Amino acid sequence: MTARPRLRRIAPFGLRTRLVLAFLLVAFVSAGTTAALTYREARSAVLASAQDTAVVSFREQVEGLGTGLPVDPQPLRELLFNIASKSKPHPWVVFAEYGSLRISSGQNPTSTVITPELRRAALTSAHGSFQRVVSDGTPYLTIGMPVTARTGEGTSLPSGLVLFAVMRMTDEQANVDALLTAARDGALPGLAVALVPALLAARSVLRPVRELRGAARSMGSGRLDTRIKVRGRDELADLARTFNESAGELERSVDELQQAEARARRFASDVSHELRTPLAGMLAVTEVLDEDAAGLDPDTARAVRLISAETGKLADLVEDLMEISRFDARAAELNTDEVDAAETVHKTLHNRHWDGRVHTELPEGVRVRLDPRRFDVVVANLVGNALRHGAEPVTVSMSVSEDMLVTEVADSGPGIRPDVLPHIFDRFYKADAARTRSAGSGLGLAITLENVRLHGGTVRAGNGPHGGAVFTVAIPLRGGPEAGEVPA
């Protein structure tokens, strides 16, 4: 039989995918963290540079004022224009607040971006305060400085006049946005580039895993001499070495078991062969003794019949052992012929004088290609098992299903216990542990299983819906393996 190639299925989230995703995740987190930190530091540097320049320049100009009290609006406006003309790094709009007086160097006397918090901080701090504000999407730097009035003794007192400078920071915001775009655009190609080492790393990890999988599959198919090439000194190399050591131990153990099994087979076969000749003589003697048993005294006659019965059982056991030995040695052969299925079953029952004890439901005209002798053994073993361990009536029925000849042997006994079913075809298995001996050899069902397999069929045991054991044999109508071929 030609083995069909096994299709390789790739899991959508297999080890390769998970390794690549993990690698890309690490690269993404690293790139994202680096970009975020770089962006934050660059943004702070850009804003701080403009902010410090503006605050220092505005403070120097405000501290250099010599405003007297009370405040005159017109000179104050000219002063504001003068301060605004010296603004840096960008143009300012300067506002003055003194009591209810509001004056500016721009068109509006007051500013909407100067917050109450900045006003309070400017009034309470001698060195002023500043604040960044975003209004309608536009960033501003607002600075508040109190103006002091000098006294005649050379001291300075708060005049109550506060000057504010409002500077747009659109250029700085544009630079910050450019930094953000550069960080984002730099991270995305970095992830694409990281895909290449991710694939290479996944390949280097998966290659020994694939080799291990192939080696395990090879060993599962029976090639116990399979080994993996060890590369490097990492954990995967240790795994390969461990696999090779385990495979070597397994190969040695299997070799020992096979040799022991072969010795056991040879022993059983040799013993069976050696017993056949003396058993043949013993059977001939017991037949003569059986004929003369009627003329012997009762005790001697009973002993003679017991010896004859036990000798017959021993002969059956030897024959069954020889048959099992042929199966184990793969020396069993099929000699197939096209026969009438119903007629074959009737012959089996008639030859064993079971015609009146077994009910049959056999369709006429069903032709099947099989080995008549081995099929006779199958039916005889199943019917004999039903008569010995089940209860009458025993029914043998046949049907054809999907090019298979299905034969069922059912009895009316208590059925098979669930714990017995998995072992029903084991050699010498006893369903009742207390029963040391049985009428059969203990190999009948095992021989039945081997004969059915030899035909390329199946046999299973179960219980009928109304009780009783049911054995079902399915054999191909057109025959299984060719004559002389032993299925693997």
Instruction: Please say if the pLDDT value at position 3 is more than 50.
Output: no
Average pLDDT (21-38) is 71
126 exposure class (CB count in 10 Å sphere: 0-12, 13-18, 19+)? exposed
Averaged pLDDT, 341-353: 93
Most confident among 173-177, 392-396, 441-445 (mean pLDDT): 392-396
For residue range 407-429, list pLDDT tens digits in order.
Answer: 999 999 888 898 888 888 888 77
Tell me which of 13 and 46 has the higher pLDDT: 46
Enter the tokens of residue 102. 């509001």
| Cα–Cα distance, 463 to 386 (Å, whole number) | 12
Q: What's residue 10's pLDDT?
A: 47
Cα 379 to Cα 206: distance, rounded to the nearest angstrom = 54
- Separation between Cα atoms, residue 239 and residue 475, nearest integer Å: 47
| Residues contacting residue 386 through CB under 8 Å, at least 6 positions apart | 394, 409, 410, 411, 413, 469, 471
d(CA 488, CA 93): 98
Q: What mean pLDDT do residues 431-451 have?
A: 70
Average pLDDT, the chain: 80
The secondary structure of residue 30, as a DSSP letter, is: H
Of residues 440 and 298, the one with the higher pLDDT is 298
- pTM beyond 0.85: the answer is no
Helix or strand run (H / E) with residue 21: helix 15-63
> Residue 416 and residue 72: Cα distance in Å, rounded?
120
Judge whether residue 1 has pLDDT over 50.
no
pLDDT(222) > 90: no
The whole-number pLDDT of residue 11 equals 52
- pLDDT category of residue 402 using cuts at 50, 70 and 90: confident
Tokens 């630079």 sit on residue: 175
Give the pLDDT confidence score for residue 344 in this predicted structure.
93
Mean pLDDT of 244-263: 83
Amino acid at 139: P
Judge whether residue 332 has pLDDT over 90: no
C-alpha–C-alpha distance, residues 112 and 110, integer Å: 7
Tell me which residue has tokens 């607002």.
142
Is 70 exceeded by the pLDDT of residue 432? no
Rank 72-86, 226-240, 302-316 by mean pLDDT and report only the highest: 72-86
Q: pLDDT tens digits for 63-109? A: 777 656 566 788 888 888 888 888 888 888 999 888 888 888 888 88
Please tell me the predicted confidence (pLDDT) of residue 2.
Answer: 42
pLDDT at 437 over 60: no
Give the pLDDT score at 26.
73
* pLDDT higher than threshold 50 for residue 7: no
